[in-house]
Amino acid sequence: MMNGFIQNITLTIRFSECIVKAMELPNYNHLLYFWMVAREGTIAAACKQLYLTQSTISTQIGALEKRLGVKLFRRVGRNLVLTETGQAVYHYANEIFALGSELVAVARDHPTSRPTRLNIGAHDTLPKLIVCRLLEPAFNLPDPVRVICHEGTPSQLLPKLSTHEVDLVFSDAPMDPQIKVRAFSHPLGECGVAFFAVPDLARRLRQGFPGSFSGAPALLPAATAAMRGTLERWFHTTGVRPIVVAESEDIELMIAFGQQGRGFFPAHDVITAQVTRNRQVEWIGSIKGHTERFYAISVERRLKHPAVVAITEAARNVLFA
């Protein structure tokens, strides 16, 4: 009898613990209303999506904030802006509802396996052609991989490593020690820099290169790009003084300007085939004695994610070999 009494007490305690844990979980309807407002930008816009009144949504978001014990929005004029905690909650809500969509797909379609998620951050100064080349091995793995790409500055992307919002950050510079994140820089390789222009301009500049660049129209990456420093040092060493007609943080935009014939532009030599094939431009010449380096930054000293391992090995042995 005593054993039965003890078992009943134990079951009661476990049941109580389950109730407490369930009470700590957020109400997912409340989370959905919050997520929709954050995504749409205003309560009015969320109302149209949810077919609810503004007062109903405001009340539900207030209930979520009370349950979590934090403020998720702050009012700036007539607009609602996510707080720092609100941004973190929004990220998790994105993950939750994305997984919910996958759950429905699994139930309906009965796939054999669910794709592995790989969140990649890429510095906005990196050419998208190189990012695509780096990611190719992830798509060729036997098991399916879903790649989610994020673009931004180092100060935006690197802190996301510590919160596991991204698994890996592609960069043209090693980890910045001023950004207080415990992470490791894994070298991927290096390559040279070449110059390109539309055929008429390329033929003219090819004669007497690099001296022919003095006075010629130039399209350059923004000062925040590692390549810009390389170019400035090379211009100084060779005594070249081009006329800068445009600078761009987006390398693809710089190449588009070049395709219009607005000036010569630099690009990494590992993508020469893609640049000349797709952009209707020609190679002019290459920088000698200077290289650009690339890194994969992660919180792991030793890489384990199968897609990340495939990416780094292919970069070192194929792309930058």
* Domain annotation for the chain: domains and CATH numbers: 2-91 (1.10.10.10), 116-190+294-319 (3.40.190.10), 193-290 (3.40.190.10)
| For range 104-110, the mean pLDDT | 59
Q: What pTM was estimated for this model as a whole?
A: 0.65
Instruction: Give the model confidence (pLDDT) of 243-296 as tens digits.
Output: 999 999 888 899 999 999 999 999 999 999 989 987 789 999 999 888 899 999
Chain-centroid distance, C-alpha 89: 19
- On the question of pLDDT at 99 being above 90, the answer is no
Give me the pLDDT at residue 110, please: 54
Give the pLDDT of residue 132. 93
| pLDDT > 90 in the chain, percent | 41
User: Is the model's pLDDT at 14 over the cut of 80?
Assistant: no
Residue-averaged pLDDT of the chain: 84
**Residue 13 predicted with pLDDT over 60:** no
**194 vs 164, which has greater pLDDT?**
194
Sorting pLDDT into bands at 50, 70 and 90, what band is 103? Answer: low
**For the segment 38-97, what is each residue's pLDDT rounded down to a tens digit?**
888 788 888 887 778 888 888 888 888 888 888 988 888 777 888 888 888 887 887 787
Return the HEC string of the chain.
CHHHHHHHHHHHHHHHHHHHHHHHCCCHHHHHHHHHHHHHCCHHHHHHHHCCCHHHHHHHHHHHHHHHCCCCEEEECCEEEECHHHHHHHHHHHHHHHHHHHHHHHHHHCCCCCCEEEEEEEECCCCHHHHHHHHHHHHCCCCCEEEEEEEECHHHHCHHHHCCCCCEEEECCCCCCCCCCCCEEEEEEEECEEEEECHHHHHHHHCCCCHHHCCCEEEEECCCCHHHHHHHHHHHHHCCCCEEEEEECCHHHHHHHHHCCCCEEEEEHHHHHHHHHHCCCEEEEECCCCCEEEEEEECCCCCCCHHHHHHHHHHHHHHCC
> What is the predicted pLDDT for the residue at 96?
80
The answer on pLDDT for 19 being more than 60 is: no
pLDDT per residue over 140-185, tens digit each?
A: 998 888 999 999 888 889 888 877 888 999 999 898 888 878 889 9
User: Which of the four pLDDT bands, split at 50, 70 and 90, describes residue 301?
Assistant: confident
